[in-house]
Structure 1
């Protein structure tokens, strides 16, 4: 495994060109925020805006849109149903990416939306939150394989429970046997699980936890798995995953390679948590504090260049 250090993260940090515009800096579209979880959609959108995408558009509920017009008026808001009416493709000089699932309840409507995003988007897609439940279905797995064969990157960001539900769709006896072999070799089970999910579904898997593991479906060995070990329990709060999803989505929209975007995103997110804890206390850090410290984490990296 390879550890994500501050030096490695600093080298990945994308810069700005003098002639950049909002389109060359990337379009990040977010399909997020059911009415009951409007806040999750707001957090993901605000993080995407903070992490450098030039244009942020949200397809979301009325409740989320109303909040965004107050706290993030630069974001363009449209109804979720409008997603299918637009073209979602990257082209020369106009990179883009789509984030889906933050603040989604698990429902048939959410499943249909996630499948639409996976099938219609000709650009990187990140699936998070309630959207991950779709991947544990035959239709979801099929859509992921189709994207993989077509060379379209997909990133998924499960926590431990979500990863277990996805793993349950595979042969559980083989999974456990392989996990045991890895542990005997000193490979953490979570690292193996991230790699297994990545290879089974053709995705980049960001398995969140006390240590976060990033695995690419194109890789075969646990030696290639990235690990982040410099987080903080202050991040164990509802909503921090939505901030991470928006952060990585924004970096994907900048045109970064998916695994690099994930590595930089998880490092900046973790460092923002550490900085927030230093300003108050680990016990008292809120998700909003983590969001507010993203620029400070970026600035600290920028000084290492």
Structure 2
């Protein structure tokens, strides 16, 4: 169901009011005032903003009163098109499509609210940097994602696709030869690097893998990898010898759970455990971890000099200094196979683009959860699958631009 509101304002009415500071302070927030100042408080522009706020309040069905002027914020996207943000409560935000036009002495605004675009949202922990005019695919990072095994090609497919969708210039899927052909058929933009193996998974291929990833700016290790003694050796070798930031996930974490001290030998590592994986790493019970997630994540981050992304309903991100971020986006529908692989792809992409590991992790979990919220509004939590999160990543990313 969609809701529409329309309002018409006589520009001459606003022309008389715009020089009254009390009027300005009552109607517009600081961001709106900055925009209007750039427009020299042009009467038509001020009238357009005023009409937008009235139109949004009418679309909601309350009118101005129950909905206050400053709960309705007018913003502009990267193309200069207006949109509205309606703060219904402390945590709920509704995005509103807006159109403004002027006819002689009148300003007219139309507000369209699509009820499925309605989700809990806080400001992102950091905003996405604007891209440079003079840039090329190398400007936005080369990322290698190592993993996959026969029967588990989907994990690395999701991680690689999410990384590309997050903005990486080049993404390489480094996989055992048993699944290279499958992925070459599935992928269009991702480059598949096949590692020869007689087994349906990696088998003592550390040297070849390290050669393949030499030119990469960031590495993800673990999605769909599988877990046995030979792969434990492989993971530990890569961590110790690679001189690039590493995001360690899934079976990559399981492969070091017996000897997490290897993390201290890495250069710049992010780990993304769910409570079960964190339990294996810390030897604490899942109930202990769920009871004290921030404290346990902080202790681990400090002890092993890593960024910890402890995945749960409110994911906790902690750096080795003890700085932390608790994410508020996301929903229970994201408890589905492949969701964590998508997050890994997002975080490693941001690191490859030049964000620090802590910032990349904070922004990554926010975008991941926000895209999941948008997907749940379209498909429902019960029907949500991991690729739905990727589908809504572009919309989530747009909301994280300043």
- Same fold? TM cut 0.5: yes
Local SS of the residue matching 1:117: helix
Which residue of the partner structure matches residue 132 of structure 1? Answer: 253
Q: Distance in 1 between matches of 2:342 and 2:213?
A: 26
Is the CA contact (8 Å cut-off) linking 2:127 and 2:400 kept in structure 1?
no
The structure with higher relative contact order (CA 8 Å, sep 6+) is 1
Structure 1 residue 267, shift from structure 2 partner: 0.4
- 1:223-275 CA deviation, whole Å, 9 max, x = no partner? x3210122100100011000000110111111111010001110000001100
User: Which structure: larger Rg?
Assistant: 2
CA distance in 1, matches of 2:146, 2:294: 29
Query: Hey, what does 2:321 align to over in structure 1?
Result: 218
Matching residue of 1:250: 349
Supply the distance in 1 between the matched residues of 2:263 and 2:395 (Cα, whole angstroms). Answer: 35
Match of 1:68 among 183, 188, 193: 183
Shift in alpha-carbon separation, 1:111–1:254, aligned structure 2, 3 A: same
TM-score by length of 1: 0.82
Moved over 6 A (4+): none
1:148-159 equivalence runs, <5 A: 152-159=267-274
Counterpart among 312, 317, 320 of residue 209 in structure 1: 312
Q: Which residue pairs with 1:163 in the alignment?
A: 278
Cα distance, 1:88 vs structure 2: 2.8
**Aligned residue for 1:93?**
none
User: Gaps spanning 5+ residues in structure 2: where?
Assistant: 1-120, 196-204
Which residue among 370, 373, 390 is the counterpart of 1:271? 370
Number of aligned residue pairs = 272
1:83 corresponds in structure 2 to 209
Q: 8 Å contact 1:42–1:67 — kept in the other structure?
A: no
Structure 1: unaligned runs, 5 residues or longer = 91-95
Distance 1:280 1:16 in 2: 32
TM-score by length of 2: 0.63
Whether the 8 Å contact between 1:207 and 1:214 is mirrored in structure 2 is yes
Q: Which residue of 2 aligns with 1:145?
A: 264
> Which residue of the partner structure matches residue 12 of structure 2?
none
One of 124, 148, 167 as aligned partner of 1:8: 124
1:38 matched residue in structure 2: 153
Report the Cα distance in structure 1 between the residues aligned to 2:137 and 2:127, rounded to whole angstroms.
21
**Which digits, 9 at most, give the CA deviation of each residue in 1:75-97, with x for residues without a partner?**
2211343313346367xxxxx10
The two structures, once aligned, show a CA RMSD in angstroms of 2.4
Match of 1:235 in 2: 334
CA distance in 2, matches of 1:240, 1:48: 13
* Deviation readout 1:127-169 (Å, 9 max, x if unpaired): 001110122233xx3431122xxxx21000000000011111x
Which residue of the partner structure matches residue 16 of structure 2? none
Separation in structure 2 between the aligned mates of residue 218 and residue 166 of structure 1, nearest angstrom: 20
Which one has the bigger helix percentage? 1
